[in-house]
Amino acid sequence: MLCAVAVAITSAIVPGPARAGSPAPVGGSSSAQTVAADAAAAAEVEAPDFASESYSDPWDYSNSSDQNTDATRATNVGVSGGRLRLDVVGGDWFTPVTTVAGSLAFGRDGAAKPIDPARYKRLSIKMDQPTSGGVAAVVWFTCREQTTSCMGGTHFATRPGDNVYDLALTGASTIGAGVPWSSGRIVNLRIVPVTSSAVTSRVRVSVDWLRVYAPGTAHGAWPPGTWSGFSVSALPRPVVDSPNPNEGLDIATALNKRPWDFTSAANGTGVELYNARLGGYGAQGLTATNAGPIRNDPEVVLPVSRFTASRFHHLSYSLSYDGAFSLADAPGGGKLARLIWIATGAGNYQISDDLVTYSGANALPAEIDLAAGDPLDPQSGSPRLGWAGRTVDHLRFDPNEDPGAATWHLKYLHLREDPKATGSTVVKFHDDAWQAGTTAEVRVGRGAPGTAYETIARGVPVAQGSNSVRFELGARPAGSYRVQVILTHADGGAALSFSRTPITMTPGAAPAPAPSTSPEGRLDSLARTPGGVRVTGWARDADTSSPLEVHLYDRTTGAFLGSTRADRPRPDVQAARPGAPLATGYDATFAISSTTPGGRDVCAYGINVGAGANTLLACRSIVVDGRPVGSLDGATRSGTTVAVRGWTLDPDTAASTSVHVYVDGRLAARLPAGGARADIGRAWPGWGTVHGFSGTVTAPAGSTLCVYGIDSTGKGNTTLACRAV
């Protein structure tokens, strides 16, 4: 397995200039420095990056989706302040690409979205770790079981401080069975910050960004930004918003029943619950607790009559639970679900493969195409009929196989057909890395991605936010069409994306589009601020030229956050929508409770004027955690004293806080964190700059020094670092 020494170093340590406007590297790396934006820096287009192309979301640790914190072997893992932070001993790891053997792959699972080693051949990472003369490793697996026989990897030397490492993945593989990077699609990728088994005291590691990229540019290792002597501009990150699976007809609606949106008890009419005790319906959905007689087998039996499975094949659900993630066959484990059905002509249950469910902010809504491949568990009994081509008589969802008294929350469950349109439809898309001057080409095709597609629009100017192009079926044959969107930035960088589902087009005169009488708009950004969140976007209603009212809700808790008016200038919206007033933008900050840390969905609604109805503009996710963050930048001995320095802040307040320093478990000092730190002010806009601390403590040789960030409201203090001094 992982060795304690470097067998083969195939990396280069790149001197680490930081992005303009980011905090100075922590850890005292003499080669790393913060540089100001240089307008004269040579511009270069970003090299293709796996996470950006596969997820439309780079590993820049700007949001909780960038790292599944359940997929780690480390402690105190979290994403905050634009960094991934974790405490490790030798051999601990985090997993940018994860997979679970025996489960149905969906979402970011590496079996659903593997890394193509023929395209992505290098890895770069900006990592801050304190060990001197250390060795780290990149480990990969080509099988979901993650056994030694399908394991490969490479070691690389590290040094204390914030450094950028650029690794060739195609060199000698010296870990596990030595499986080469090029031997097959990579379904699991691990980063081991410290490999030495001699490191038994936990050290604090943080990662600014990680890229698995296609080489070919001079600075392909670097993400978009302005660096020392050069700059990198972002490639487009196109997202096709429509057609999408959620636009298809839902089975509950097709059967003249209420949709299974379980925030309302009325929507649970006809649902039967077994091996679970109902807690009620509310903002979290249907809440229940596993109970007897078979406590690890709760069942939600859904009221259906016979239906065609190949028609209704897009499964989506939102499931969460109280407590931590574990797959152990013991109380607190069994965090997985299953879909179970009976197909006409067979009396046995058809049992899906495990649907792994993660905890907290990792519990993202699931979208699964049941007709794509075999969804059955290998131990599902005979006859194995599967989903595609079958008729279903009975349907149930088993949400949690915990043998303990686990409490879970099923917010919704939908089973949809492909979206449909008669005559024409509107293709909608946006660019998550939008730049002025972006243009779009829109194509449609009846084959799988990678086959020939036909262009229906070219050179379309792309505005920030939502864009649309009409697709007329015309003389084309009826059938299923998938959409491809190619975006090109003004600097020539281009990228493409496909719709997540095809749309079924039938001939006929399309109904004339009715004038829009309901609001339209977008929630462009959602960011943490002291004690709350800042939202920006735009909204308008064709029935009025006055600024529209926008309401914000925390969908996770059901709390109303407040309202604002879209009265700020948005010339881009006015240019894209002739007749729109200039004042359509909004930018406001709202308080949000951080008493219970975790993921939140914040939704913006445009409030209707005149005819029409209120409109959900968009929802965006954010992690709200009121616990302190920070870093111990240095601990320097002089005789019997140790000088400590670093920074800390409490996300709930912009005011200065404090740190407590302990030596061998005893309080040695209380230090104010009120020193000027302009770099922290840049990294945490809105929190100000007075968050630095420094001081000296008495510490005998061989002692352990720990620094704790003190919470302002009693939600819990944070261990910033522990070091042997």
> What pLDDT shows up at residue 523?
92
Q: Is residue 350 predicted with pLDDT exceeding 90?
A: yes
Tokens, residue 305:
């009559």
What number is the average pLDDT over the span 238-245? Answer: 95
Cα end-to-end span (Å), the chain: 31
> What pLDDT shows up at residue 686?
79
Rounded Cα–Cα distance for residues 150 and 148 (Å): 5
What number is the average pLDDT over the span 700-720? Answer: 87
Q: Is residue 14 predicted with pLDDT exceeding 50?
A: no
- CB contact at 8 A, 154 and 19: no
Q: Which residue has the tokens 């007897």?
A: 292
> What pLDDT shows up at residue 19?
34
Rounded Cα–Cα distance for residues 570 and 7 (Å): 57
Please state, rounded to an integer, the average pLDDT across all residues of the chain: 88
Reported as a single tens digit per residue, the pLDDT across 331-345 is 999 999 999 999 998
Rounded Cα–Cα distance for residues 371 and 353 (Å): 14
Task: Check whether residue 164 and residue 27 sit in a common domain.
Answer: yes
Query: Model confidence at 162, in pLDDT bands (50, 70, 90)?
Result: very high
Task: Check whether residue 280 and residue 344 sit in a common domain.
Answer: yes
What number is the average pLDDT over the span 204-218? Answer: 96
Task: Check whether residue 184 and residue 299 sit in a common domain.
Answer: no
> What pLDDT shows up at residue 430?
93
CA dist list (Å): 467 to 50, 237, 242, 684: 25, 14, 10, 31
Is the omega angle on the peptide bond into residue 243 within 30 degrees of 0, that is, cis? Answer: yes
- CB contact at 8 A, 262 and 281: yes
For residue 515, is it within any domain?
A: no
For residue 638, is it within any domain?
A: yes
> What pLDDT shows up at residue 531?
76
Task: Check whether residue 540 and residue 553 sit in a common domain.
Answer: yes
Q: Indicate the residue among 560, 589, 624 that finishes a domain.
A: 624
The helix or strand, by DSSP H or E, that contains position 573, with its residue range, turns out to be helix 571-576
User: Whose CA is closest to 651, among 721, 597, 603, 695?
Assistant: 597
Provide the CB-side half-sphere exposure for 109 (13 A, CA).
22
Residue 184 belongs to domain with CATH number: 2.60.120
Rounded Cα–Cα distance for residues 105 and 99 (Å): 8
For residue 427, is it within any domain?
A: yes
User: Is 571 in a helix, a strand, or coil?
Assistant: helix
The helix or strand, by DSSP H or E, that contains position 660, with its residue range, turns out to be strand 657-663
Reported as a single tens digit per residue, the pLDDT across 272-298 is 999 999 999 999 999 999 998 999 999
Q: Specify the DSSP class assigned to residue 104.
A: -
| E strands in 223-274 | 225-226, 230-233, 238-242, 272-274
Rounded Cα–Cα distance for residues 263 and 252 (Å): 16
At 379, the amino acid letter reads: Q
For residue 2, is it within any domain?
A: no
Residues belonging to the chain: 725
What number is the average pLDDT over the span 262-271? Answer: 93
Instruction: Report how many domains make up the chain.
Output: 5
User: What percent of the chain clears pLDDT 90, i.e. is strictly above it?
Assistant: 68
- Please list, in sequence order, all residues whose beta carbon lies within 8 angstroms of the beta carbon of residue 536, skipping any fewer than 6 positions away: 523, 524, 525, 585, 586, 587
For residue 512, is it within any domain?
A: no
Strand partners, 235: none
Reported as a single tens digit per residue, the pLDDT across 532-551 is 888 999 999 888 888 999 99
Residue 370 belongs to domain with CATH number: 2.60.120.260
Rounded Cα–Cα distance for residues 619 and 621 (Å): 7
Task: Check whether residue 55 and residue 85 sit in a common domain.
Answer: yes
> What pLDDT shows up at residue 528?
80
Q: What letters, b where the CB count within 10 A reaches 16 and e where it falls short, cover 394-427?
A: bbbbbbbbbbbebbbbbbbbbbbbbbebeebbeb
Task: Check whether residue 591 and residue 652 sit in a common domain.
Answer: no
Q: Is residue 512 predicted with pLDDT exceeding 70?
A: no
Rounded Cα–Cα distance for residues 527 and 534 (Å): 5
Rounded Cα–Cα distance for residues 334 and 240 (Å): 35
> What pLDDT shows up at residue 346?
85
Query: Secondary structure of the chain: what % helix, strand, coil (to 5)?
Result: 5, 45, 50
Q: Which residue has the tokens 């997979």?
A: 99
Task: Check whether residue 62 and residue 183 sit in a common domain.
Answer: yes
User: Whose CA is closest to 568, among 589, 549, 548, 584?
Assistant: 584
Q: Is residue 35 predicted with pLDDT exceeding 60?
A: no
Query: Model confidence at 271, in pLDDT bands (50, 70, 90)?
Result: very high
> What pLDDT shows up at residue 667?
93
For residue 514, is it within any domain?
A: no
For residue 511, is it within any domain?
A: no
Query: Model confidence at 42, in pLDDT bands (50, 70, 90)?
Result: low
Q: Is residue 671 predicted with pLDDT exceeding 80?
A: yes
User: In degrees rounded to 5, what are phi and psi of residue 616?
Assistant: -75, 115
Task: Check whether residue 461 and residue 558 sit in a common domain.
Answer: no
Reported as a single tens digit per residue, the pLDDT across 378-419 is 888 899 999 999 999 999 999 999 999 999 999 999 999 999
Q: Which residue has the tokens 């299923």?
A: 480
Rounded Cα–Cα distance for residues 280 and 278 (Å): 6
Residues 64-69: contacts with CB under 8 Å, at least 24 apart: 64/361, 64/362, 64/599, 64/621, 64/622, 64/623, 65/108, 65/364, 65/621, 67/94, 67/96, 68/95, 68/98, 68/108, 68/358, 68/362, 69/360, 69/361, 69/362
Sheet with 424-431: strands ordered across: 238-242, 424-431, 467-472
Q: Is residue 7 predicted with pLDDT exceeding 50?
A: no
How many whole angstroms from its chain centre is CA 353?
24
- CB contact at 8 A, 635 and 705: yes
Q: What letters, b where the CB count within 10 A reaches 16 and e where it falls short, cover 151-166?
A: bbbbbbebbbbbbbbb
Q: Indicate the residue among 462, 484, 506 that finishes a domain.
A: 506
Query: How deeply is 565 buried, as exposed, middle or buried, from its count of CB atoms within 10 A (0-12, 13-18, 19+)?
Result: middle
Q: Is residue 114 predicted with pLDDT exceeding 90?
A: yes
User: Whose CA is closest to 539, among 552, 553, 530?
Assistant: 552
Residue 448 belongs to domain with CATH number: 2.60.40.10
For residue 4, is it within any domain?
A: no
CA dist list (Å): 508 to 119, 472, 476: 43, 10, 12
User: Whose CA is closest to 522, among 410, 647, 619?
Assistant: 619
Task: Check whether residue 436 and residue 548 sit in a common domain.
Answer: no
Tokens, residue 348:
């046995």
Tokens, residue 369:
């195409």
Task: Check whether residue 713 and residue 567 sit in a common domain.
Answer: no
Rounded Cα–Cα distance for residues 77 and 720 (Å): 12
> What pLDDT shows up at residue 67?
96
Task: Check whether residue 265 and residue 376 sit in a common domain.
Answer: yes
Reported as a single tens digit per residue, the pLDDT across 449-476 is 889 999 999 998 888 888 889 999 999 9
**Mean pLDDT lowest for which of 166-170, 419-423, 431-435, 510-514?**
510-514
> What pLDDT shows up at residue 516?
55
> What pLDDT shows up at residue 22?
30
Rounded Cα–Cα distance for residues 273 and 416 (Å): 22
DSSP 454-487: EEEEEEEE--SS-EEEEEE-TTSPSEEEEEEEEE
> What pLDDT shows up at residue 24?
28
> What pLDDT shows up at residue 530?
81
Q: Is residue 3 predicted with pLDDT exceeding 50?
A: no
**Mean pLDDT lowest for which of 86-95, 412-421, 658-667, 715-724?**
715-724
- CB contact at 8 A, 547 and 607: no
Rounded Cα–Cα distance for residues 363 and 449 (Å): 29
Reported as a single tens digit per residue, the pLDDT across 674-706 is 999 998 888 787 788 999 999 999 998 889 999
Query: What is this structure's pTM?
Result: 0.69
> What pLDDT shows up at residue 267?
92
Q: Is residue 224 predicted with pLDDT exceeding 60?
A: yes
Pairing label, strands 33-34, 17-18: parallel
Tell me how far apart the 2 most distant CA atoms of the chain are, in Å: 87
Domain, as residue range, for 449: 239-244+419-506
Task: Check whether residue 353 and residue 228 sit in a common domain.
Answer: no
Q: Is residue 562 predicted with pLDDT exceeding 80?
A: yes
Q: Indicate the residue among 603, 624, 645 that finishes a domain.
A: 624
User: Whose CA is closest to 633, among 89, 14, 23?
Assistant: 23
> What pLDDT shows up at residue 167?
97
> What pLDDT shows up at residue 349?
93
> What pLDDT shows up at residue 594?
67
User: Whose CA is closest to 88, among 208, 198, 192?
Assistant: 192
